[in-house]
Amino acid sequence: MKTIRFLFLATILGCLGCATQQPSFQGVAWENHSSPSSSGFDAQELNRLTHFIDKNSNTTGLIVIKDGRVAYSYGDLEKVSYIASCRKSVLSMLYGKYVEDGTIDLTTTLGELGINEKDGLLPIELTATIDNVINSRSGVHHVASNGGYDKKNFLPRGSVKPGEYFVYNNWDFNVAGHIFELYAEKTIYQELEEQFARPLGFQDWNIKNQRKSGKRSKSQYPAYHIYLSTRDMAKLGQLMLNKGEWKGNRLISKEWITKTTTTVTPFETLVERYGPADPDGIHMSYGYMWWLLDNFQAKPEYEDAFSAIGYGGQYITVFPKLNMVIAHKTKLGLFNYIGLKKDGDRHYWDIVHKIVDAHF
């Protein structure tokens, strides 16, 4: 969406041109539907979709999971690469275990946790709770160690109370990662492997591919960048669609998934910050590090849908009404950052439209 796409800008350092390690354990392959019709799709429409992607988008990997099986795929599903701000939705999932067992109390404040910066935080900023931080409503309008934060809508430090004002700020998200590691006593990457990669049978996971980055001179909290393949991203989406259950095992509570995919910052607030809605009718609100589709051309198929969104066209989108998950990747390079490549976000939603229209 053009009205919020600038929110997903990220630093080039740490995400481009990095070699990937081979998978560190044997994963579990997705099962395929026997035919497009068996998954409820029109084969001719899917062929038209392929031609559209070939001609119009910079998609490198796309997988559509319908009823737990592959209904359609395109490109290289095995390539491990940067998922940009989708990392935040993954962190939201990881939080669930520790919130539900009482280890993490979302009312705990930054001051109680000893969170600070080299240039200091104000007394009012130290009253922000973990809940405020993971909703990007901390009121701490401090620059982040990495790019991608909305400095245009920063307010003077100390001018708002925590919880009152939403601004998309990687400082909050990076601090959310730091807080998580304080409680877990492990890295986010170790937790991702233990909570999800192994139980879900990721096919392309190697913890050595994961790395943090950021300028510590700007903030002492680095960005926890995550590198995944398209087909492994889809497993995270399927886990969310399953309300936290995987092959009979409960990995995330239903209550946490419901909470994290419930609106905290409404669409109307985002319009106030970032201008009118897109002409194609995408209305989104924001939950606990998940984007929620409030309306997409008034089509019932999109009701209750939600998405992890990363700069340049990295997506994990869940469609409960269709029992469907879409994972999508593009190749990020220098030309993406200076605006000379095709719009990965714009074309992604065009692709989604065509996928839904191909369903019968």
The secondary structure of 258-299 as a DSSP string is HHHTS-SB-HHHHHHHH-SPPTT-EEEEE-SS-EEEEEETT-
308: Cβ–Cβ under 8 A, 6 or more apart, which residues? 83, 85, 86, 88, 89, 90, 236, 237, 290, 291, 315, 316, 317
311: Cβ–Cβ under 8 A, 6 or more apart, which residues? 5, 8, 9, 10, 84, 85, 148, 332, 336
Cα–Cα dist 357/297, whole Å: 12
Successive 10-residue mean pLDDT values, the chain, 360 residues: 44 52 94 96 97 93 98 98 97 98 98 97 98 98 94 96 97 98 98 98 98 96 98 98 97 98 95 73 92 88 96 96 97 52 72 94
pLDDT on residue 246: 98
Closest by Cα among 144, 191, 194, 140 to 167: 140
Cα–Cα dist 213/146, whole Å: 7
Task: Work out the angle at residue 188's Cα, subtended by the Cα atoms of residues 15 and 232, and round it to the nearest 5 degrees.
Answer: 65
240-248: long-range contacts (C-beta < 8 A, 24 or more apart)?
240/93, 240/306, 240/316, 240/318, 240/325, 241/318, 241/319, 241/320, 241/323, 241/324, 241/325, 244/96, 246/199, 246/200
For 31, other C-beta atoms within 10 Å of its C-beta total 10
Kind and range of the H or E element at 255?
Answer: helix 254-260
Encode 249-287: b = buried (16+ Cβ within 10 Å), e = exposed.
eebbbeebbebbbeebbbbeebeebbeebbeeebbbbbb
Under a CB-based contact definition with an 8 Å cutoff, are residues 282 and 1 in contact? yes
Q: Which domains does the chain have, with CATH numbers?
A: 5-357 (3.40.710.10)
Cα–Cα dist 260/306, whole Å: 10
pLDDT on residue 260: 98
pTM of the entire predicted model? 0.92
pLDDT on residue 344: 60
